[in-house]
Amino acid sequence: MSSKITDLVRSLAEPIAQDLGLRLWDVQFVKEGASWYLRIFIDKDGGVTIDDCVNMNNAIDPLLDQHDPISHSYYLEVSSPGLGRRLTRDEHFHQLMGSPVIARLYKAADGKREIKGNLASYDGKTIGIETEDGIVNLEKSAVSFVKLDDDY
């Protein structure tokens, strides 16, 4: 259900973001406590401003009302993905090849739950991270998340 919602919202938001000179980074529909949140993350060269968020919110809100993809109440949030942005989609990995990242593993491997280095490869199933000790290849299914390393 959540994937259908995010796919529909993504298809509605993508052209709006482009018209506003923005890139759609991600769409999430999550439950936190008793509340549901529809989060739209936008990006652009030079950084996202509060006006960018307001403009995107004002443009997408009527379309969400028109298409009504969510049958219950929720909060709409539009924001930047931030400095330590998570890489969630294939295009994120390809776009940020060579960038410093942190990968958090579900279970420790060789005594480590976190791998830091530069994103070296990605094929949809395996993530390669170049560390000081060489390239570490991680199965995507074993990784809790990958995010940009802002402390690098």
For residue range 34-49, what is the model confidence (pLDDT) as tens digits? 999 999 999 999 999 9
Neighbour tally for 54: CB within 10 Å = 11
- The CATH number of residue 60's host domain is 3.30.300.70
Q: Rounded CA gap, 46 and 34, in Å?
A: 36
Task: Identify the pLDDT of residue 3.
Answer: 83
pLDDT of residue 111: 87
State residue 121's pLDDT score.
Answer: 96
State which residues form the domain around 60.
Answer: 2-79
Question: Do 139 and 114 have their domain in common?
Answer: yes
Would 84 be classed as within a structural domain? no
Tell me, yes or no, whether 97 and 75 share the same domain: no
pLDDT value for 1? 52
Average pLDDT over the chain reads: 94
Q: Is residue 91 classed as helix, strand or coil in its secondary structure?
A: helix
Please count the structural domains in the chain. 2
pTM: 0.83
